Amino acid sequence: MGPASGRGRARMSPFCHARAVLLLLLAMAMVMAAEQGGEKSCDLVGDKDKESKTEKDLLKKLGPLMGARFHTDVVSGTENYTYEFRVCREVSSALAESGVVQTNGKTQKKTVIGRINETQIINGSDWILLIYKGGDSYGSHCLYEKRKALIMISCNRKARNDSFTMAWEERNKEQECFYLFEMDSSVACPPEDSHLSIGSILLITFSSVIAVYIVGGFLYQRLVVGAKGMEQFPHFAFWQDLGNLVADGCDFVCRSKPRNAPAAYRGVGDDQLALALPAPSQQGCSAQLHEAGAGSSLPAACLFLAAA
Ligand SMILES: *[C@@H]1O[C@H](CO)[C@@H](O)[C@H](O)[C@H]1NC(C)=O
Ligand SMILES: *[C@@H]1O[C@H](CO)[C@@H](O)[C@H](O)[C@H]1NC(C)=O
Ligand SMILES: *[C@@H]1O[C@H](CO)[C@@H](O)[C@H](O)[C@H]1NC(C)=O
Ligand SMILES: *[C@@H]1O[C@H](CO)[C@@H](O)[C@H](O)[C@H]1NC(C)=O
């Protein structure tokens, strides 16, 4: 029993793996389906494949606000109302497809102003107009037509989340009445053009290249070549030569009087000098540079002073 069943299990295991993988794939597919069909979102006018491409792009632009909830209180005369607004989600699952809901402060009666299954989106350079149609019908105004909410989203990069306000309600027309809301958001802003000029791009590239050169060269010298101390700098001898050349050039071009300073230093050994002066002066450096041959070990500060 024992050995036989053990061998059986061993033979079955590839099939078990296949089944496990299949189950996993099925579970993933179900999760994805649930995510797509689970929550209602803005439905644009037209069948799925005939929706406006621009409007679909705009829906993507609203992405960061998706599902956000806003509200505002409005007092008009003796009445007060609270308006709740959600971006492409139901304000309340009890009110089907509700995108903007008005609550009467006195009676707590809820009226759907606009529904997310009848969404329209329009944009300009720095604003997006979100329209929810198909709200509850007016009682006596506006020829009993369905209510409609217009939400004007203006570009504001520092928008606060409490900027949602009711701008105005038009209901003294025969038709095409609406509730107009306003809010600020950064999603309505045009894409920020980069302020980098060609010069700064070049500068950044150049300094990156230098940084990579120094770090990469340092690592190479240290890890591959096995250099120690100052020798870890990439092409150390070359830069030293260059530093000496520059120092000589400077000496030749800039100096107006013949130099007699080295005489004063000649008595002092270079080693003592380096000990006595932790941060060597320009004078000391040029003296040392003058005397030291190429490739000899100079204090690092001298090299940089000479190059500066
Ligand atoms: C709205 O009106 C009701 C009833 O009159 C009152 O209880 C409530 O405090 C009011 N709300 C606001 C925000 O004014
Ligand atoms: C939107 O949803 C409401 C409530 O479910 C429904 O009465 C209406 O017909 C829907 N509109 C469209 C265009 O499907
Ligand atoms: C509206 O948005 C689209 C997509 O983001 C954009 O390409 C277009 O330029 C915008 N329209 C205006 C008038 O800015
Ligand atoms: C707005 O933001 C503040 C703090 O960032 C938070 O406390 C508040 O709940 C937010 N309000 C809404 C309606 O999201």
Convert the pLDDT of each residue in 85-143 to its tens digit.
Answer: 999 888 888 988 899 999 998 899 999 999 998 999 999 999 999 999 998 998 888 88
Distance 44 CA to ligand 2 centre (A): 12
Please tell me the residue having the least CA distance from ligand 2 atom 14: 117
Beta carbon of 106 within 6 Å of any ligand 1 atom? yes
DSSP 39: S
Ligand 2: which of 118, 119, 120 to mutate, judged by most atoms within 8 Å of the beta carbon?
A: 118
Ligand 3 atom nearest the C-alpha of 128 is 1
CATH superfamily for domain 48-188: Mannose-6-phosphate receptor binding domain (2.70.130.10)
Q: How far apart are the first and last CA of the chain?
A: 87
Question: pLDDT by residue (tens digit) across 174-196?
Answer: 888 899 999 999 888 888 776 77
User: Which pLDDT score, from 0 to 100, does residue 40 have?
Assistant: 78
270: its two tokens: 């270079």
Q: How far apart are CA 132 and CA 119, in angstroms?
A: 5
Question: If pLDDT is split at 50, 70 and 90, which confidence band does 295 have?
Answer: very low
What is the maximum alpha-carbon separation in the chain? 110
* Count of residues making up the chain: 308
User: Which pLDDT score, from 0 to 100, does residue 143 have?
Assistant: 87
Phi-psi region of 110 (alpha: psi -120 to 50; beta: other; left: phi over 0): beta
User: Which pLDDT score, from 0 to 100, does residue 133 have?
Assistant: 92
Per DSSP, the chain holds a count of helices (H) and strands (E) of 8, 8
Compute the C-alpha angle 34/36/39, nearest 5°.
80
Q: CB within 8 A of 240, min separation 6: which ones? A: 294, 295, 298, 303
| 8 Å CB contact between 98 and 76 | no
Beta carbon of 61 within 6 Å of any ligand 3 atom? yes
Residue 233 clears pLDDT 90, i.e. is over it: no
Please tell me the residue having the least CA distance from ligand 4 atom 4: 161
Ligand nearest to the CA of residue 85, numbered in listed order: 4
Beta carbon of 53 within 6 Å of any ligand 3 atom? no
- Return the number of other C-beta atoms located less than 10 Å from residue 288's C-beta: 21
Please tell me the residue having the least CA distance from ligand 1 atom 10: 105
Percentage of residues of the chain with pLDDT beyond 90: 26
Question: If pLDDT is split at 50, 70 and 90, which confidence band does 2 have?
Answer: very low
Q: How far apart are CA 238 and CA 241, in angstroms?
A: 5
- Return the number of other C-beta atoms located less than 10 Å from residue 82's C-beta: 15
Question: If pLDDT is split at 50, 70 and 90, which confidence band does 155 have?
Answer: very high
Q: How far apart are CA 163 and CA 161, in angstroms?
A: 6
Q: Which residues on adjacent β-strands are paired with residue 80?
A: 75
Ligand 1 atom nearest the C-alpha of 106 is 4
What value does the mean pLDDT take over residues 145-163? 90
Ligand 1 atom nearest the C-alpha of 78 is 5
Ligand 3 atom nearest the C-alpha of 125 is 14
Beta carbon of 39 within 6 Å of any ligand 1 atom? no
Residue 301 clears pLDDT 70, i.e. is over it: no
Distance 110 CA to ligand 1 centre (A): 15
Structural domain boundaries in the chain: 48-188, 198-254, 271-307
Question: pLDDT by residue (tens digit) across 15-65?
Answer: 667 777 677 777 676 655 555 555 778 888 777 777 788 888 889 888 888
